[in-house]
Amino acid sequence: MHKFLFLPLFIFLPLFSYEAIVFDFGGVMAHPDPAPIIQFVQESLQLTPEELHKESTFKENLILNREKDREFWKSLAKKRGVTLSSTWVEDFRNALSQSMMADQEMFNLVETLKENGYRIGLLSNIEEKHAEIVSYVGLYAPFDPCLLSYEIDVEKPNSKAYQKLIEALNLKPESILFIDDMEENVEAAKEMGIDAIHFTNIDKLKTELEPLWK
């Protein structure tokens, strides 16, 4: 589980009507890059890039909380004649976490908002196998509700996704602020009566959020 330091970003004043602030994940909270986990696997299992590419099940075994995943890596190491270190599982998880490229400033902002009484949710389009990785490294922990498209059976910008969000929060749409890096998702939220911000970078987001507490 990741621990994020509390960093005061703004002076908050409880004058605004929002009760919940909901974030997208990929492109907002994190910017995935497979390079760290690929490098770790190649080095620890002594694989060339070509050999790694041939391991067709590699992408299907990127977590270790299921028996079949653990057995996959043990089997591959044995086939390679490699002895995994005693810290290999922990090191694997750290590399996987680095591959998620979580934006610590964004998680600091989330914690600051929570400290000031806002409910913080997540509405994310994601496949189950990728969501398992994000969950495995603890990056969904700050969000409640955490609505993932594969679980709610609908993706943004479908209006049903936003309706499920409204129902999960049990709030009026105008009490919700939604933040997403895709303009079409932002516009779809607005059509449902949810105020929304198009995310481009954290500095701009801070500027956009600051007037809410002035």
Q: Are 142 and 114 in contact (CB under 8 A)?
A: yes
Do residue 83 and residue 124 come from a single domain? no
Give the model's pLDDT for residue 55: 72
pLDDT in the model for residue 102: 92
Whether 111 and 195 share a structural domain: yes
Q: What is the model's pLDDT at position 56?
A: 60
Tokens, residue 98 = 């680095």
Question: Domains in the chain: how many in total?
Answer: 2
92 and 114 in a single domain? The answer is no
Domain final residue pick, 82, 99, 116: 99
**Is residue 157 one of the residues assigned to a domain?**
yes
Single residue among 70, 99, 128 that ends a domain in this structure? 99
Please tell me the predicted confidence (pLDDT) of residue 142: 97
Whether 7 is in a domain gets the answer no
| Domain limits for position 56 | 35-99
Q: Which of 147, 151, 185 is nearest to 167 (CA)?
A: 147
Which parts of the chain register pLDDT below 50?
1-15
